[in-house]
Structure 1
């Protein structure tokens, strides 16, 4: 059961912090920053809805690194190129065909199948890593 006091909300094994816009006893309105930590793992993206919230987990650093390496290879980028989670495929020089090839490389590396609709929503390395971990989790469930 959640309780709201001041600027924090806590639940069993979950700690949430809300900055700005919290009105006591009236819910949460227009928070600019929301952070959530569960057992030391930080979840940067939380979507708030009346009477509930949804957490979107960021991919593990190892997954982001593997995706970055695959992107570098598929785009034939120099070894010293910096590719991070925030790197956009288009900014790295990828066109739509390159993006399809990147997705194919990710499917092969991680043993997953990415639906065309999902593939079209991938714009950054982080997007790809998050999708991969979601697909792996769904596959094992």
Structure 2
């Protein structure tokens, strides 16, 4: 693909097609007026993994408290990735869950921190941080 001096080149493609084409490339070059520009494409992981601070035991306790507070039947699975809203929790339920966690772990969760809790894992991570601070 060559471009004359003073002209511009624009490429537009459907995102899925572009992603497919780019993912199969290792490197490519584009001609410039006097030389070639060279680019190397590196593979990007399809899904990012986030390491968490919470111990598995803490996550399990939080799961149990969430199930109890929401009165979920045994067949409903609650994991670290479970979102409170997806489990049917409204804002009052979330406040009750946070109060149950405070009581169980002997911590105090600030309102700003409580509002950032979306998943069971978020709650478990916050608990680990607060327990560490309390112990220090």
**The residue matched to 2:98 in structure 1 has which SS?**
helix
Structure 1 position 125 matched with structure 2 position 111: no
Structure 2 Cα separation of the partners of residues 81 and 58 of structure 1: 25
- Tell which structure's C-alpha radius of gyration is larger: 2
Give the alignment partner of residue 116 of structure 1, picking from 108, 111, 116.
Answer: 111
2:73: which partner in 1? 78
1:100: which partner in 2? 95
Any gaps of 5 or more consecutive residues in structure 1? Answer: 1-30, 34-42, 46-56
The two structures have a TM-score, normalised by structure 1, of 0.61
1:88: which partner in 2? 83
Any gaps of 5 or more consecutive residues in structure 2? Answer: 1-42
Structure 1 Cα separation of the partners of residues 83 and 109 of structure 2: 19
Structure 1 Cα separation of the partners of residues 44 and 57 of structure 2: 29
Cα separation, partners in 2 of 1:79 and 1:116, compared to 1, 3 Å: same
Q: Indicate the structure with greater strand content.
A: 1
Q: Relative contact order (alpha carbons < 8 A, sep ≥ 6): 1 or 2 greater?
A: 2
| Number of aligned positions between the proteins | 92
Q: Indicate the structure with greater helix content.
A: 2
Q: CA RMSD in A?
A: 2.0
- Report if aligned partners of 1:44, 1:58 keep a CA contact under 8 Å in 2: no
Cα deviation for residue 32 of structure 1 reads 5.2
Structure 1 Cα separation of the partners of residues 71 and 112 of structure 2: 26
The two structures have a TM-score, normalised by structure 2, of 0.63
**The residue matched to 1:138 in structure 2 has which SS?**
helix
